[in-house]
Every structure is written in C-alpha cells, then in structure tokens.
A and B are shown apart, each in its own frame.
Chain A
C-alpha cells in the first residue's frame, strides 16, 4: 500500500561517490543537473546523458536499484515522446489519417526525455550515496535556513513512523473485509482512515515537542557529524562542475 523511502539503502557501499564530501557533492551535482536540464541541443543532451551514466557507474549503486528509481520519470516523459511528434509543426516524416509526424516534434520530444532521464540519473550519485540524515546535515552546513533544515529532519524521521502506522490501520481495514475500489464508499472509508492518521499525528506532534523540550531542545539543531574537504573532494567537484561548464563551451568552440 505504502512503501518506505529507501533512497539511502546502498549508502554504506564504498565508491568515489560515497567518499565524496556531501557538501561538495550536493553543490557540484546541483550545478550539473541544472546544466543538463537546460541543454538546447539533442547531441549535447546525449553527451550529458553519457556523463550522467558514467557518474552513476562511478557510484557503484546496483543497477536494479538505479532502474527502480529511474523508472518513474518514464511515466512522465512518455506522453511527450508520443504526443509531440504529431503536434509540433515542421518537416513531415510520414502521415496517416490526417496525423502528421514531424521531425522537429520527434526531436523535441526525445530532447525532453533525454534531459529528464539524465537529471534523474544524476540524483542517484548525489543523494543515494550518503545516508539521508547526513545529507540534511550537509544542507545545514550549506546555510539552508534553520527552520527548513529542522523540518526536513523531523519530517523524514516521522515518515517512517507513519508508514508503519498507516500499514497497521490498513491491515485492520482489510481484515474487516475492506476492498479498495473506485467507489464512493471506499473513498469515504479511506478518508476516515486518513483522518485518523492526521488526528494521531497532531497529538503526536504535541508529545514530540514536550519530549524534545524536556531534553533541552531550543529550536537549533546540534550535529555530531563533522565534514572535512580532502584533495579528492576538490578534484571530483572540479571534474563535475567542469563537465557542466564544458557542455556549454563545446558548441562555441566549434567542436560539435
């Protein structure tokens, strides 16, 4: 029914991406993701795609895990590949029953898909190679506003609690004969189950706050993790950012 977030399931492996300082990793890959997403040309987008795959290989994440996380973006880009060749005006490839497939539409559709998939691939070496709580701490060191950092920490932590809690509610509903269908009755029942989840979370929020207060919580996080930049971190950061910049310099250098 609902699943745990398992993005950092393989964060304990050892690879250059796992050893990469989380702060530098986030900055470098964010720059590269923005660069890849805005590429104007299909050839460059393919170069970006190959780069993304190479960084994924460098992270040594299992292929199955990677594909599981990449597959969702296909659902979003498939309509673009299917619809755009027929709706964008341009050079005709072929036509049948009044539908005209154009070269420009096909090219634009593929460009969108390649950029979207490359970006998702790059998220994996960025996020899946570090324990997620350490990623949040890295965001704190990168001066993200304190309120948001803490919201990330608490929200991430309680997602697991509520997944378990909702699974238990769900099991109880099914045990009493509830069947999930697209019917008014089923939807109303789900509404009540969700309502209960919100009531519980509201009450729990109160208790969490009291418990935190009694342990001396003042609204600012303290972390035990210390980050340190090594020579290899600088090299990787320069490599990734250099790749991002070169995607925009190559066309002007006349290579492509």
Chain B
C-alpha cells in the first residue's frame, strides 16, 4: 500500500520525487565508479535486488486483510548506499510487472522507500560495531527490529507527507487512515527484520557488516 498509484499526486510532488531520485541515483552511480569495480558490483547487487524483490512478493495475513513485506530497512542494512538503486529497480519492476504503484510515481515512491532505507542502514552501521564484534544476538535482534520498524515508520510518514503536500484539504484524512492502517505492518516488519538480522549474524555475518 505504500506504493502510491498514478493519478493522485500533483505535478510538483511528482517532479520533486523524480528530481531527488535521479540525483541520488547519480550519487550512487558516481560512488560505485569511484570504488572502481563496477562490473563486479552489478551482478552481485542485482542478484540481491532480485532476492529482496521476491521477499516483497510474500503476503502475510494481518487480521482480515493481508500485507506484503517492504523490508527497506534490511535493504539499507545489507546494501548500504546501493540500497537506493536497488529500491529504484524494485519500484520500477513492481509498477511494470505487477501494476503495484504507478509509472509517474516511480520517483516519489523510490524516495519514500529509498531514503528511509539509507537512514536505517546508516543508523545500523553507526550502532552495530559492538554488536557485531561480540556477536550479541539479543541486542542485534532488538537493534535490527528497531531499524526495520523505523524504516517503515519513515516510509509511511513520507507517503503521508506526499499526499498532504498534494492537497492538504482533500487528502489529510486519507493520509491519517493510511498511517493507522500501517501500524500492524510496522510491527510485523520490525519482528521479521530483527529475526533476519539474528539469522544472518549466525550464518553469514559478512552480509550485515561488510558493506
């Protein structure tokens, strides 16, 4: 539900979304070129992106309805700055393959999910030093859950802001309804992200510490 469809947002909001997305994609591209090994990075990054995409196709029952994973916090934790191009690819593919979200809203949807991913990744990186070195699973799980939940909270806030920026008078109540509807999803994402972080710490610690 956090992918906004076509036909809802105003031109300034859509344009701002595209501008920020293109600028951040350019930064990620520049960054990867500076690091040098682009031809090595692309296949690895794409394979991970595909895995995240498949994870986002899984539907989880939430009371009477169902929701699907976003996992943008985890994308940020694992891919670092490359989370942004990965989420861009995911948003485009969701829009063209499944018609979730819209074509004109690719920019703003990438911003809404990608920037929280970068923030979550940054916080995790800043706070994870001690956790990763002494492999404290409980604190890693709690920290992972907080970061995973935070990413969805930010995504919902960004989405609400995009709606309100289009028309405060018309969309305010809808933005509130959208936010309330996402509370269970925030909890689910937090639990699942925490559980994935604990699992990766045991099985493949370089995945969450290396990038």
Contacts and interface: CB of A to CB of B under 8 A. Distances in A.
A28 interface: no
Contact of A205 (B47, B61, B196): B47
Given A154-B50, A159-B54, A162-B50, A212 B177 contact: no
B54 A150 contact: no
B46 A155 contact: yes
Contacts of A69: 98-99
Interface residues of B, number: 76
Interface stretch (A32-40, A224-232, A242-250): A32-40
A190 B192 contact: yes
A197 B174 contact: no
A246 B10 CA distance: 20
B48 A205 contact: yes
Most-contacted residue by chain A among B169, B184, B188 (CB, 10 A): B169
Interface string A156-172: 11110111001000000
Nearest to A186: B60
Interface residues of A, number: 84
Contacts, number: 244
Contacts of B188: 182, 187
Contacts of B7: 36-37, 77, 112-119
A192 B46 contact: no
Given A151-B42, A151-B49, A198 B170 contact: no
A128 to B, nearest CB: 9
B48 A80 contact: no
Interface in B131-180: 169-170, 172-174, 177-178
Given A119-B7, A120-B6, A3 B57 contact: yes
Interface stretch (A12-20, A53-61, A83-91): A83-91
Given A72-B99, A114-B7, A154-B42, A88 B192 contact: no
Nearest to A35: B104
Contact of A197 (B51, B177, B184, B192): B51
Contacts of A47: none
Contacts of B191: 184, 187-188, 191
B70 to A, nearest CB: 13
B61 A181 contact: yes
Nearest to B195: A191
Contact of A208 (B4, B47, B53, B195): B47
A194 B192 contact: yes
A202 interface: yes
Nearest to A187: B191
A155 B53 contact: yes
A72 B89 contact: no
A89 B169 contact: yes
B169 to A, nearest CB: 7
B193 A191 contact: yes
Contacts of A75: 1
Contacts of A254: none
B196 A194 contact: yes
B39 to A, nearest CB: 3
B174 A80 contact: yes
A89 B100 CA distance: 30
B121 interface: no
A38 B97 CA distance: 23
Nearest to B163: A80
Contacts of A135: 96
B123 interface: no
B5 A198 contact: no
B54 A166 contact: yes
B203 A199 contact: yes
A160 to B, nearest CB: 9
A192 B137 CA distance: 14
B176 to A, nearest CB: 10
Contacts of B69: 194
A33 B106 CA distance: 13
Contact of B98 (A72, A117, A119, A218): A72
14 contacts: A30-B103, A70-B99, A73-B99, A75-B1, A87-B173, A119-B7, A159-B54, A162-B54, A191-B194, A191-B199, A192-B199, A194-B69, A198-B48, A212-B43
